[in-house]
Structures are given as structure tokens and as C-alpha cells.
Amino acid sequence: MTAADWTPDQPIVSIKDVHKSFGDLEVLKGVSLDVMKGQVICIIGPSGSGKSTLIRCINALNNIDSGSIKVEGLEVNDPALDKLELRKTVGMVFQQYNLFPHKTALENVMMAPIKVLKRPREEVEENARRLIERVNLVGKENAYPGELSGGQQQRVAIARSLAMHPEVMLFDEVTAALDPETVNEVLQAIKDLAQRGMTCILVTHEMGFAREIADHIYFTDRGVIVEHGPPATFFKEATDPRTREFLSQIL
């Protein structure tokens, strides 16, 4: 299947039997999951279980050893893949904000559409201001990252990713480095995105948020998906002992 053949009744992200090792360490041991357009998927599990590696593979930040990852029909593992084209479709927000410290919030949001998409500056600025408003940062357009709290910087990072008009958003433990009082600001911005129909894949330790926002939850341990299901059943009726033990420690 090519990207031109993809239709919205098929998974927008399709992961089949993915294996990934770093040297002798096998991090992903045959992971498979499908994400439909507009779905919100949360991936949870202990540290070192392969969660972050998996979503970095979706964005081709890590190459896979075997298996298949398709995004809108594009094979991410294809050596001929244009990674720039993929990253126009798949946005990613990391634990660290990775903002340019010498650029204002507005300039950070505007950079990629101007440099990568070659969009006219006036159009890009108008859209960037809308996105900054959407993540509740009106009045901070001219602030530099060093003048913003961690939660504000993370919301700029979300706006920056949205400026590329992605079809899928990946969030890799985006609240892990934040103070407790700023976590909710960032979660609210993600919730707003999900409610607008954005396809979201989140690696998160925020169980209350996962329960509230996810259509489906996947629990990973030691490189495999141990158990998965909608939140209503996942949190109440987990059957695998590893899942139950994990949930008992964090709920």
C-alpha cells in the first residue's frame, strides 16, 4: 500500500511485529498495535519497558530492526522514506521542550513552517498567534523561553508542533519534567487537542489523565504489550499479574 491508497477507514498508524535492539539489549520484542484516525492512545508501563522507544520509532527517530510501521500507508522503515515528509504528518513533543532560547515564543512556533514548509511569513504568523491562543499563552508571544515556566515552555512546544499541521501527535512523557502545579496546564492543552479530533499517542505516567482522555490504553513491560483495553475495563478488570502489580503501585 502507498500513501495514496490509504483511506480513513484503515488505521492511520499501523504497527506490526516491531523489534528493536540497542546493541545486545532487545527493547521491543514484537509489538503490534493499530491507531484509528481521531483516536487517543495512552501507552503506560514501568521505566525501561520500551514505551518511548516505540513512539520514537513511529517518527523515524529510531530505526526498527524488523516489522512494519505505517503512517497513512507510508512505510516508516522504507530506506527511501523522506523523513521530512513523515514529520510533516507526525508531530512530536518531548519531555524536554527543546525550544530555541534566543527566539521568542512566537518565533519558535513560526520557524518550521517558514523554513521547512516555505509558507509566507504573514500567513505563518497569523496561524502561530492562533495556536498560541489555543494553548492559553496570549500575552507571552514576545517572551523568551528563559522567561517562561516549564509548563508554558511545554505549551509553546505543543504549539510549535501543531504549526506543521500534523495528522498525528506523539507525546513522550511531556509532563515528567514539570512542577506539579504546571502539569495541569499542559494536560489541558492536550485534552483540547484530543477534543478537536487530533489523533494522539501518549506515553504518560498520569493515570487519572489517561483514564479520562484515552480511547484505549496499552500496558507495556519488558518490550511487549502485556495487556490493553478501553480505560473503563483496563483499570478495573486487568487480568495479567504484571498489569495488576503496576497499577497497584501507582493508583
pLDDT tens for 153-209 read: 999 999 999 999 999 999 999 998 888 888 999 999 999 999 999 999 999 999 999
Whole-number pLDDT of residue 2 = 53
Whole-number pLDDT of residue 187 = 92
- The one-letter amino acid code at 195 reads Q
Residue ranges of the chain with per-residue pLDDT less than 70: 1-4
Q: Is residue 29 part of a domain?
A: yes
Indicate whether this model's pTM tops 0.75: yes
Domain containing 191 — which CATH number?
3.40.50.300
| 3-class SS of residue 88 | helix
236 burial level (CB within 10 Å; 0-12, 13-18, 19+): exposed
249 burial level (CB within 10 Å; 0-12, 13-18, 19+): exposed
Q: How many domains does the chain have?
A: 1
Q: Is residue 58 part of a domain?
A: yes
Q: Is residue 2 part of a domain?
A: no
| 3-class SS of residue 22 | strand
CA 75 to chain CA mean position, Å: 18
Q: Is residue 111 part of a domain?
A: yes
Q: Is residue 192 part of a domain?
A: yes
Q: Is residue 181 part of a domain?
A: yes
Domain span holding position 143: 11-250
Q: Is residue 5 part of a domain?
A: no
Q: Is residue 1 part of a domain?
A: no
